[in-house]
Amino acid sequence: MESPDPPRVVRQILARVLSGRCFTDIQLRTGEAPAVREPRGYVAADEPALDSADMEAFADWIDPRWRERLKAGAGHFDAALTLGEHSRLRCNVFRCGPGERLAATVRWLPFRVPAPDALGLPRALLAQIAPLRRGLILVTGPTGSGKTTTQACLLEQINRQQPAHILSVEQPIEYLLEPARAVITQREVPTHLTHFAAGLEAARRQRADVLMVGECRDRATVDTMLLAADAGHLVLGTLHARSAEEACQTLLAFYAGEEQLQRRALLAATLLCVVSQVLTPSSDGRRLWLSCELLLNSPAIAAVIRQGKLAQLDNAVATAGGAANGSVLLNQSLAERVRREEIRYEDALRDSYRPDDLQRLLSSHG
């Protein structure tokens, strides 16, 4: 519950939110001024250094039990909370450095889920959830690439369009979804559940139509996701992977031998799409642009996955087996941003997982 008199650190964060200046994260350290992550990286805030009283007041505001949670969480813990009517904050509180100084990393999230057009999500991705389908949608990308926001946006579209039961399993809960046409159940690890797989297993008894998994971290979670998609649920999960190929490799790496053959067949049959995304600073450094790789399953792509020839996925996306149904490679998305002068050439190369191919693509189009 939000304190009626938020500590100084919270008031400073709120002032940044209300200023409208683009930022995604804030680093807080005892003995240092806050560092704010803007589109082109961290900058030191023009504010006094935080003392131990500041950091303890901030931790108390997040959770009065923070000392116990630090001990129970091996020196760190996650929490998410609402900042007035303006924002959600996802916080990781921990100790570091000499003297075990109290510190926190704070991720800022808008209070309301952004609309698809505001994010720049491909329309072919939105078509995967209208009408409601059964299968698996993977949202991948590096840390800080907006995976949580994309997932929340897809869930909000279902919420507004479908009389379904949406169940999410998160650590922690980030966006708070308000029921529109759907029934919403949001469960948090470890507050409501001991682990992700437990929430997915219980979802069958709770008659969920749509399952959202905060992160596919282990074999048990991946297994439960695949089986839930096969059983008729729409399942959304996130992975730290740079591309559709890497996402499929990461999932299947949990299995070997005959079991992997079975899981390849299951993934080929249940996969709806993989969206792999990056956030790139705008040319003027004032905002972030979303670029996406989108693999939409098709008979040709399913055959590649089933046969384990994942290195051929890029080619399948770029040919009639993929592109004809709306699939697009990340380099194609980045190149379009460069041509529109929305992002800089060098930033696009940095965010590409195949920069040499991107160079050739941009050179061939002048």
> What pLDDT, on the 0 to 100 scale, is given for residue 60?
92
CA–CA dist 104, 26 (Å, integer): 8
CA–CA dist 127, 134 (Å, integer): 13
Model confidence at 4: pLDDT above 60: no
Q: What is the pLDDT of residues 167-225, one digit of tens each?
A: 998 888 889 999 999 999 998 877 777 666 777 777 777 889 999 988 888 898 899 89
Cis-peptide, bond into residue 190, ω within 30° of zero: yes
Of the pLDDT bands very low, low, confident and very high (cuts 50, 70, 90), residue 235 is very high
Q: Where are the alpha helices (DSSP H) in the chain?
A: 8-19, 52-62, 66-72, 116-119, 123-126, 147-161, 196-203, 219-230, 244-252, 257-270, 299-306, 313-318, 330-339, 345-351, 355-364
Mean pLDDT of all residues belonging to the chain: 90
Decide: 143 and 240 in contact? Cβ < 8 Å: yes
Q: CB-based burial of residue 356 (10 Å sphere; 0-12 exposed, 13-18 middle, 19+ buried)?
A: exposed
Of the pLDDT bands very low, low, confident and very high (cuts 50, 70, 90), residue 314 is confident
77-91, 276-290, 311-325: which has the minimum mean pLDDT? Answer: 311-325
Model confidence at 360: pLDDT above 90: yes
Contacts of 194 (CB under 8 A, 6+ apart): none
> What pLDDT, on the 0 to 100 scale, is given for residue 5?
67
Q: What is the pLDDT of residues 91-141, one digit of tens each?
A: 999 999 888 899 999 999 888 899 999 999 999 999 999 888 899 999 999
Closest CA to 335 of 326, 344, 327: 344
> What pLDDT, on the 0 to 100 scale, is given for residue 3?
45
The two most distant CA atoms of the chain are separated, in Å, by: 61
Which residue is associated with the tokens 């995976």?
147
Model confidence at 320: pLDDT above 60: no
Sheet with 288-296, edge to edge strand ranges:
183-188, 165-170, 210-213, 234-239, 135-140, 271-281, 288-296
DSSP 191: T
Give the phi and the psi of residue 136 in degrees, each rounded to 5. Answer: -120, 130
Decide: 108 and 17 in contact? Cβ < 8 Å: yes
Percent of the chain with pLDDT over 90: 66
Model confidence at 325: pLDDT above 90: no
Number of residues that make up the chain: 366
Model confidence at 74: pLDDT above 90: no
Of the pLDDT bands very low, low, confident and very high (cuts 50, 70, 90), residue 14 is confident
Domains and CATH numbers, the chain: 8-110 (3.30.450.90), 116-364 (3.40.50.300)
The model carries a pTM of 0.91
> What pLDDT, on the 0 to 100 scale, is given for residue 365?
65
What token pair was written down for 160? Answer: 């507004």
Decide: 77 and 70 in contact? Cβ < 8 Å: yes
> What pLDDT, on the 0 to 100 scale, is given for residue 7?
86
Cis-peptide, bond into residue 131, ω within 30° of zero: yes
Residues facing 295 on adjacent strands = 274
> What pLDDT, on the 0 to 100 scale, is given for residue 366?
57
Rg (CA), the chain: 21
> What pLDDT, on the 0 to 100 scale, is given for residue 2?
47
Of the pLDDT bands very low, low, confident and very high (cuts 50, 70, 90), residue 1 is very low
Give the phi and the psi of residue 153 in degrees, each rounded to 5. Answer: -65, -45
Angle at which helices 257-270 and 244-252 cross, to 10°: 140
CA–CA dist 281, 284 (Å, integer): 8
